[in-house]
A and B are shown apart, each in its own frame.
Chain A
C-alpha cells in the first residue's frame, strides 16, 4: 500500500515536471554589457499563456527527470535485493533411519524397516529430479547412532539402504535431536569443515514426530537457521501382544520359587493367549492362560521348581515378535556371602555364611567404619552393649515403622544401659532409636543401604539384653539382605551387546507399542535452498544515484550553465 502510494506520488511528479517543461518558455542566457539598461523592464512571467512547446532535452531537465525516475524505481523495487555473493542452489540431506527393534513390526507383508527403506528410495528419486548440487549423509539410530555413508550422492545411498536391517535394540529419540542440532550448527558455521552442509534432515522412523521439531530452540544460538527437519512416521497402529517385564516375587534369600510375568496387549485384545514356560531341556513345564483386564494388562505368577534357565513364550504374539519370548536365568542364593570385617567371627561361623570380600551379599564392619562406594549393604556394629541401668530422666525415642524395631520391647530397652553414639550432622545414617540426650542406639540409611546397631548379640548376660541385642542384630541383617539387589532374571540388549543370547533379550520398553502415527513434512518439501547470500537492497543504490543526479543538477543550476 505504501509502495503504491509512493509510486503514484513520484510518477505524478515526473509527469508534472514534463508538463512544466513543455509549457514553460526556455530562457536562453545572454551576458551583455548593456544588461543594466534591461533591469527596469518588466519581468516576464515564468509561465505565460499555457501553450505547448517543443520539449527541449537540456541537461538540467534530463538530470531532474533521472532523479525522479530513480526515486520511482526505488519505490517500485523496495523489496528487491541484489545478491552480492553468488547464490548457490544446494541440497544437503542428512538421513537418519530408525533401526530399533520396533522397526521389525510387520505392516502387512512388509516390516517397518522395509517401509522406511522405500521412503529413502523415494527421496533418492526426488533428489535426482532436482537440478542442484545434492549431497547426503546417511545415519541410522536405535540406542546408538551410526554414520553409514558420509557425503555421498543419492545413488550411492540406494546401495547402502539395501543392506540396512533392524537391530533388537530400543529407541533413543534424543539421538535424533542431537543430530538435528549438529546439522544446524554445521550449516551456520562459516568455517565448517562439514563435507555435506545440511539444508534438510530427514528422519524415517516409527515414532511420531515430537513437538520440538523445527523449534527455535534448535537454532544455533542466535543464528536463524534455514535447516528444515522432515519427520516421516512409517508406522500404522497394529495389534500386538508382548511380555513387558519378568521379576522375582520375593528376595533372593527366600525360597518361594516364584516369578511374576507382566504382559500387555495393544490394539485388539486377543481372545486366547497362552504363556508357555520351557526349561533348559526344552521340556514344556507350564502353560498358562492369560487373562486380560480391560486395559489390556495381565500379570501371571509362575512357580519355578529349581534354579536354571527358563524360556517364556507367548502364543499369538502379534505384529511385533521381539516381545513374544524371553529367556530368564532364575537363581537362588543357597549360601550368603559376607565380607565380615569384625574381629569376632564366631557368629559368622555360627550362621554358616561364606566369607567373601570380593562379591559379598552383605558387609559387616565396626562403627565408625569407612563405607565403600559399591552397592553392597553394610551393617555397622558398635563397640558393644554396656551393663547397668539407664540414667534417671533418660527417655528413648524411635520410629515405629522402621524394620529395625520389629519385635523390640521398649519397656525393657529403657532399663538397659546402652551407650548411644552421636551421629554427625552430615552422616548418611539417620537415627531410628535414640534417647532424649541426642544419642543414637539404632540408625539406618536407605540410600547406601546401611544400618547401625550398638553391638553383636550378647549371650552371657541379662536375658533382656540378650533378647534385645539378638533382635536388633538380626532385624538389621534381615532388612539389609532385603535391600540386596540380585542379578536380574534377564538383561536387555545394548549397543555393546546387540545380540539376543542367553538371558539377554530385546524386551525394551515401548517397542511393542505403536503410538498414533504423526509425520511432519514430506519428501517433496525438500527443495534447493539458496545459501545465505549476502544481499544488498536495490533501493539504496537507486536513491544514491538519485542523490548524485540531484547534486549535479544543483551544481549546474548554480553555475548557470545551460546547454
Chain B
C-alpha cells in the first residue's frame, strides 16, 4: 500500500468520532500541557492566560467593535500520546497457509505471517503520521531489544524494524512478556496479530498470553486481537477423501476427511479461539476459500484493512 493510500485512510478515520465502547478510553484530548497544538477563537470560558495577544493583533480586523471575537487563544496537546504496541506472532503455524502450487518457485506468500507483517506496517505508518508512537513486538521469543518510533519521518524505518522483529520463525519459544511490561504504559493500545493455533506443547504459553491480555485490560490498556483465520482456506484446499495430514508440532495422521469431520474440527477451532476472543476486542481476518487466492492476496488485504472498523477506531477522534 502506498503512503498516499494510508494517509487517506488516516484522514478518513479522523473525520469520524470514536464511539464509546469498552476499552476505548484512549482519547486525543486537548489538555493542560506545554505542548502547543493550535490557535482557536476565544470563547467565553477559555483561560485568558492562554490568549496570544500578538497573534490576535495580527489577525484582528481594524476598527472592529467586537474585538474580543478576534482574540486567539492557544490550545495545547494532551501529555498521553497514543502509543501503539503491535505484537506479531512468528511461530511456525503463522507460515501457513501456502498456495496449492507449493512447488512453484515463484509462488506468492499468502501466509498469515505475511499478512501480519503488512498489517503491522500499515498500522505503524498511519499511527506515526498521526503523531502517535509505535513499538513492534515479537509475541514469542525474548532476545530482541525493542525500539519506539515516533515522528512523521520514522515510517521509513518501519519496514526494516518489521524484518528485524518478524524475520525469523520461532520454535518452542516463550511468550515475550518481559519486554511488554516496559513498552505498554497506561493508555496505550496493544494490538496482537496471531492465529491462536496453540498445540499441546504450547498450552502453557497460551495460558500466559491469555492471562497477560486480561491483566492489560484490567490495567486500562486497550487490547485489540486480530485473529488471522486461515481455517476456511485450509479446509477448502484439504478437500474430502483419504488424507495424510501433518503440520507444525504434529505427526502425520491418516484420515478420510468428510464433511462431518470438517464441521467437527471447525467447531473445535472456534471453541479454542473463543477463550481468547471473548476477553478482548477482536477482529477476524478470514482467508477466502478460493484456489487462486495467491493471485489476489494483495487485494484481499487491502479490502480487509479498509473494511475493518475496529482498527479504524484507533485513528478516529474522540471529540
The yes or no answer to B97 lying at the interface (CB within 8 A) is: yes
Minimal Cβ-Cβ distance residue in B for A26: B242
**Residues of chain B lying within 8 A (CB to CB) of residue A27:** 242-244, 254
Minimal Cβ-Cβ distance residue in B for A40: B268
In chain B between 215 and 247, which residues have their CB closer than 8 angstroms to a CB of chain A? 230-231, 234-235, 237-238, 241-247
- Complex: A15 Cα to B99 Cα, angstroms: 39
Contact A34 B242 (CB under 8 A): no
Q: In the complex, how many angstroms separate the beta carbon of A490 from the nearest chain B beta carbon?
A: 107
The yes or no answer to A44 lying at the interface (CB within 8 A) is: yes
Q: Pick from B49-57, B195-203, B301-309 the stretch touching chain A.
A: B195-203
Beyond A25-B242, A36-B199, A37-B272, whether A31 also contacts B247 by CB under 8 A is: yes
Contact B248 A37 (CB under 8 A): no
**Residues of chain B lying within 8 A (CB to CB) of residue A28:** 241-244
**Residues of chain A lying within 8 A (CB to CB) of residue B237:** 30, 32
Contact A43 B254 (CB under 8 A): yes
**Residues of chain A lying within 8 A (CB to CB) of residue B97:** 32-33
The yes or no answer to A129 lying at the interface (CB within 8 A) is: no
For chain A, what secondary structure do more than half of its interface residues adopt (helix, strand, loop), or is it mixed? loop
**Residues of chain A lying within 8 A (CB to CB) of residue B243:** 27-30
The yes or no answer to A560 lying at the interface (CB within 8 A) is: yes
The yes or no answer to B15 lying at the interface (CB within 8 A) is: no
**Residues of chain A lying within 8 A (CB to CB) of residue B255:** 38, 41-44
Beyond A30-B238, A41-B265, A44-B256, whether A35 also contacts B250 by CB under 8 A is: yes
Contact A34 B234 (CB under 8 A): yes
Q: In the complex, how many angstroms separate the beta carbon of B251 from the nearest chain A beta carbon?
A: 8
Q: In the complex, how many angstroms separate the beta carbon of B274 from the nearest chain A beta carbon?
A: 14
Minimal Cβ-Cβ distance residue in A for B271: A37
In chain A between 29 and 70, which residues have their CB closer than 8 angstroms to a CB of chain B? 29-44, 46, 48
The yes or no answer to B284 lying at the interface (CB within 8 A) is: no
- 8 Å CB contact of A34 from B231, B252, B256: B231
Contact B252 A43 (CB under 8 A): no
**B174-190 to A contact mask, C-beta < 8 Å, 1/0:** 00000000000000000
Contact B242 A32 (CB under 8 A): no
Contact B245 A30 (CB under 8 A): yes
State the 7 A-B residue pairs at the shortest beta-carbon distance, nearest first. Answer: A35-B247, A33-B96, A27-B244, A25-B242, A33-B93, A44-B256, A36-B199
Q: How many A-B residue pairs have CB under 8 A?
A: 100
**Residues of chain A lying within 8 A (CB to CB) of residue B198:** 36
- Complex: A38 Cα to B243 Cα, angstroms: 11
Q: In the complex, how many angstroms separate the beta carbon of A22 from the nearest chain B beta carbon?
A: 14
Minimal Cβ-Cβ distance residue in A for B264: A41
Contact A32 B244 (CB under 8 A): no
- Complex: A35 Cα to B269 Cα, angstroms: 11
Beyond A34-B247, A37-B269, A38-B265, whether A29 also contacts B199 by CB under 8 A is: no
A-B contact pairs, 25 of them (CB 8 A): A26-B242, A27-B242, A27-B254, A29-B246, A29-B252, A30-B238, A30-B244, A31-B96, A31-B98, A31-B245, A32-B247, A33-B195, A33-B230, A33-B247, A36-B199, A37-B197, A37-B268, A38-B245, A38-B250, A38-B253, A40-B268, A43-B254, A46-B254, A560-B246, A560-B252
The yes or no answer to B275 lying at the interface (CB within 8 A) is: no
In chain A between 345 and 379, which residues have their CB closer than 8 angstroms to a CB of chain B? none
Interface residues of A (CB under 8 A from B): 25-44, 46, 48, 560
Q: In the complex, how many angstroms separate the beta carbon of B275 from the nearest chain A beta carbon?
A: 14
**Residues of chain A lying within 8 A (CB to CB) of residue B250:** 35-36, 38-39
Contact A36 B246 (CB under 8 A): no
The yes or no answer to B261 lying at the interface (CB within 8 A) is: yes
The yes or no answer to B133 lying at the interface (CB within 8 A) is: no
**Residues of chain B lying within 8 A (CB to CB) of residue A43:** 253-255
- Complex: A39 Cα to B252 Cα, angstroms: 9
Minimal Cβ-Cβ distance residue in B for A27: B244
Q: In the complex, how many angstroms separate the beta carbon of A382 from the nearest chain B beta carbon?
A: 119
Q: Beyond A30-B245, A35-B246, A36-B197: 10 further Cβ-contacts under 8 Å?
A: A27-B244, A32-B97, A32-B245, A33-B247, A34-B234, A34-B269, A36-B247, A41-B255, A44-B242, A44-B255
Contact A35 B268 (CB under 8 A): no
**Residues of chain A lying within 8 A (CB to CB) of residue B200:** 36
Q: In the complex, how many angstroms separate the beta carbon of B222 from the nearest chain A beta carbon?
A: 28
- Complex: A41 Cα to B268 Cα, angstroms: 11
The yes or no answer to B249 lying at the interface (CB within 8 A) is: yes
Q: In the complex, how many angstroms separate the beta carbon of B296 from the nearest chain A beta carbon?
A: 20
- 8 Å CB contact of A32 from B94, B199, B234, B241: B234
Contact B269 A33 (CB under 8 A): no
- Complex: A27 Cα to B242 Cα, angstroms: 5
**Residues of chain B lying within 8 A (CB to CB) of residue A36:** 197-200, 247-250
**Residues of chain A lying within 8 A (CB to CB) of residue B264:** 41
Contact A39 B197 (CB under 8 A): no
Q: In the complex, how many angstroms separate the beta carbon of A556 from the nearest chain B beta carbon?
A: 14
Contact A41 B261 (CB under 8 A): yes
The yes or no answer to B129 lying at the interface (CB within 8 A) is: no
Minimal Cβ-Cβ distance residue in A for B233: A32
| From A32, A36, A48, A560, residue with most partner B Cβ within 10 Å | A32
Q: In the complex, how many angstroms separate the beta carbon of B167 from the nearest chain A beta carbon?
A: 19
**Residues of chain A lying within 8 A (CB to CB) of residue B272:** 37
Beyond A30-B238, A32-B245, A35-B247, whether A25 also contacts B256 by CB under 8 A is: yes
- Complex: A405 Cα to B186 Cα, angstroms: 156
- Complex: A31 Cα to B255 Cα, angstroms: 13
Q: In the complex, how many angstroms separate the beta carbon of B209 from the nearest chain A beta carbon?
A: 16
Q: In the complex, how many angstroms separate the beta carbon of B182 from the nearest chain A beta carbon?
A: 31
The yes or no answer to B112 lying at the interface (CB within 8 A) is: yes
| From A28, A31, A34, residue with most partner B Cβ within 10 Å | A34
Q: In the complex, how many angstroms separate the beta carbon of A53 from the nearest chain B beta carbon?
A: 10
Minimal Cβ-Cβ distance residue in A for B250: A35
Q: In the complex, how many angstroms separate the beta carbon of B207 from the nearest chain A beta carbon?
A: 16
Q: In the complex, how many angstroms separate the beta carbon of B230 from the nearest chain A beta carbon?
A: 6
Beyond A30-B238, A32-B96, whether A41 also contacts B246 by CB under 8 A is: no
Contact B261 A34 (CB under 8 A): no
In chain B between 75 and 98, which residues have their CB closer than 8 angstroms to a CB of chain A? 92-98
Q: In the complex, how many angstroms separate the beta carbon of A321 from the nearest chain B beta carbon?
A: 102
**Residues of chain A lying within 8 A (CB to CB) of residue B234:** 32-34
**Residues of chain B lying within 8 A (CB to CB) of residue A32:** 96-97, 234, 237-238, 245, 247
- Complex: A38 Cα to B261 Cα, angstroms: 9
| From B93, B234, B253, residue with most partner A Cβ within 10 Å | B253
Contact B246 A34 (CB under 8 A): no
- Complex: A560 Cα to B253 Cα, angstroms: 13
- Complex: A41 Cα to B244 Cα, angstroms: 12
- Complex: A48 Cα to B269 Cα, angstroms: 28
Minimal Cβ-Cβ distance residue in A for B262: A38
